[in-house]
Amino acid sequence: MRIIVILASAVLLLLGAGSGEWKAEAQTTADSARIVADTALPAFNSPYRYRLRTVVLDAGHGGKDRGCAGVVAREADVSLSLVLALGKQIEENMPDVKVIYTRKTNVFIELAERAAIANRNHADLFISIHCNAGPSQSHGAEVWTMGLHKSNANLGVAQRENAVILQEKDYQKRYDGFDPRSPQSHILFSLFQSAYITNSLRFAQRVDRQLRTTVKRPSRGVKQAGFLVLWKSTMPSVLIESGFLTNPAEERYLNDKANQSYMAAGIYRAFREYKRELEGGS
Ligand SMILES: [Zn+2]
């Protein structure tokens, strides 16, 4: 990628030879290309500056897959509410950004199809929202990117989220022999998405900070593991575990409409910061 960036900068400098303005533009382009080195290079024919145009919002689970559960709340419902609240805020405040939802209702969508939706629409960012499960004292949000898990606990979260493919037909064929129950499968597979890891982490860190500071939620930090839903997406991608439905206090918090909107506002602010940074602070 570095070589492509250098080549692209060189071509722009050649094109701009003799014009100070063009040279300045080329330099700006080179700088922004470096910043977005793992997303996409600006197109030659139109904008010289990167623009984040399309975001795909993915509400985890749905339909026959209800995800994890608390006493009354179900992951499929809470994640959909959070996604719809986030999408509404982006649509209202950023008319230049196209928001695409993998689902807006309670339907089952296969994991591979979720990434495919993002790829078909040439999305610049993929955000998948979920809720966590664990011992009743476990609480706090987590922001995940694709990568090698550093602990069995991290592997466990990915295994739980990936287990849904057992409900899909021909899953071994469709997921290249991946077995959600096998740690070895997760190790091999965690190497995917590495081309987008810098910006995935950049966005994940912003989400983590917003959730901790503005939203004032406990956060367990930015983590990495092999999530099937992020596997084949060809853009920076994160998975947000918004909190534990198995913790009574957190279930109450997450199942409340005002809190969902508040939490979505934190993710929205992280999105706005990330977009501004990639676009060069405009
Ligand atoms: Zn989930």
Note the pLDDT tens digit of each residue in 6-41.
Answer: 444 433 333 333 333 333 333 333 434 434 444 444
Supply 237's token pair: 């991608």
Contact 106, 61 (CB under 8 A): no
What separation in Å is there between the alpha carbon of 67 and the centre of ligand 1?
5
Q: Pairing between strand 54-59 and 125-132?
A: parallel
Ligand 1 centroid to Cα of residue 53, in Å, is: 26
- Listing DSSP states for 143-158 in one string gives EEEES--SSHHHHHHH
Max distance between CA atoms of the chain, in angstroms, equals 69
Gap from CA of 116 to ligand 1 centroid (Å): 18
Distance of CA 41 from the midpoint of ligand 1 (Å)? 32
Q: Quick check: is 41 in a domain? A: no
DSSP state string for 57-79: EEE--BTTB---B-SS-BHHHHH
Q: Is residue 75 included in any domain, yes or no?
A: yes
Q: What is the whole-number distance in angstroms between the Cα of residue 229 and the centre of ligand 1?
A: 10
Are 87 and 12 in the same domain?
no
CATH value at residue 270: 3.40.630.40
Strand partners, 54: 98
Predicted structure pTM score: 0.82
148, 207: one domain:
yes
3-state helix, strand, coil in the chain (%, to 5): 50, 15, 35
Give the span between the Cα atoms of 179 and 185, in whole angstroms.
6
* Span from the CA of 10 to the centroid of ligand 1 (angstroms): 45
Q: How many domains does the chain have?
A: 2
Q: What is the mean pLDDT of residues 221-237?
A: 94
Q: Cα(124) to centroid of ligand 1, in Å? A: 22
Instruction: Clarify whether residues 12 and 73 are in a common domain.
Output: no
170 vs 166: CA distance, rounded Å = 9
**pLDDT above 90: percentage of residues in the chain:** 69
Report CA(183)–ligand 1 centroid distance (Å). 19
Asked whether 218 and 266 are in contact (CB, 8 A), the reply is no
Going by pLDDT thresholds of 50, 70 and 90, the confidence category of residue 174 is confident
Closest by alpha carbon to 267, among 193, 208, 224, 225? 208
Residue 215 maps to a domain? yes
pLDDT level of residue 47 (50, 70, 90 thresholds): low
Domain with 16 in it = 2-35
In this predicted model, which residue has the larger pLDDT, 119 or 173?
119
CA of 164 to the centre of ligand 1 (A): 9
Ligand 1 midpoint to CA 132 (Å): 7
- Write out the H or E segment, with its range, that includes residue 128: strand 125-132
82 inside domain: yes
**Amino acid at position 45, single letter:** N
Spell out the alpha helix ranges (H) of 47-196: 75-93, 111-120, 152-162, 171-174, 183-189
Instruction: Quote the pLDDT of residue 213.
Output: 97
Q: Distance between CA 60 and CA 80 in Å, rounded? A: 7
Distance 79 CA to ligand 1 centre (A): 8
Give φ, ψ of 280 to 5 degrees: 85, 30
Ligand 1 centroid, distance to 6 Cα (angstroms): 40
C-alpha 253 to ligand 1 mean position (Å): 17
- Centre of ligand 1 to C-alpha 73, Å, is 13
Report yes or no on 40 lying in a domain. Answer: no
